[in-house]
Amino acid sequence: MRRGFSLIETLLAATVASIMFTLMAVGLQYLLRAEAATQAEANTLAVLHHFAQRVRDDVHAAESFSLAESEDAQPTLTLTLTKRRTIIYDYHPHPAKIRRRVIEEGRTVARDLFELPRGSRIHWEPPPNAGPQLLAIVIERPVGEEPVELRKTRKTRIAAVLGLDRRYEGK
C-alpha cells in the first residue's frame, strides 16, 4: 500500500496549477483592458451627447452665425443670439477639446469645455445655398488601441437648423 505522492506527481500538479494561474491572469488582463476601453468609449459618447445637445440648442436659438479659422488655423463658430449675447465654439487640437464661451455685452459669462479623444479632428460644414440654414459639425475621432496615426476613424455628424426656436415665436 502506497502513502502520499511521489515527487514527479507533485511537480506535475504544480506545473498544471501554474499554467492555469497564468492563463487566468492573462484572461483577467484582457478583461480589464476591454472594460477600460468600454468605459473610455462610454465617457466619449457622453461628452459627445452633451456637446451635441448644447450645439443644437444654441444653433436653434441663434439669429445668425459665422464660420472662421482662428490665428492657428483652427475652426471657430460664432453664433449671435441677440445683439448683446454671442456664443463662440472654438477647437483646440492639442489636447483635442472644444471650448464654448457665452459672451454678454463683451464679458464672458459662461464657459464649457468638451474634451475629445486624442487625435480627434473637427470641421464645420457650411449650410447649403437653398432651403433652411442647416449647420453641421463633423467630429472624426480615432478608435482602437493602435497608434493614433494607424487607427480607423469614426465620424459623428451633428446638424441643427439655424433659428429653429425663433420660427415658432410668432405663431
3-state SS track over 16-69: HHHHHHHHHHHHHHHHHHHHHHHHHHHHHHHHHHHHHHHHHHHHHHCCEEEEEE
Residue 171 has pLDDT above 60, yes or no: no
Q: In this predicted structure, what is the pLDDT of residue 85?
A: 92
Q: In this predicted structure, what is the pLDDT of residue 167?
A: 52
Q: How confident is the model at residue 149 (pLDDT cuts 50, 70, 90)?
A: low
Residue 124 has pLDDT above 90, yes or no: no
* Mean pLDDT, range 122-131, rounded to an integer: 74
Q: Is the dihedral of CA 113, 117, 121, 123 positive or negative?
A: negative
Q: CB 120: neighbour CB atoms within 10 A?
A: 23
Q: How is residue 20 written as a grid cell?
A: 492555469
Residue 54 has pLDDT above 50, yes or no: yes
Q: Which residues contact 123 (CB under 8 A, 6 or more apart)?
A: 75, 137, 138
Going by C-alpha positions, the residue among 77, 131, 134, 128 that lies closest to residue 101 is 77
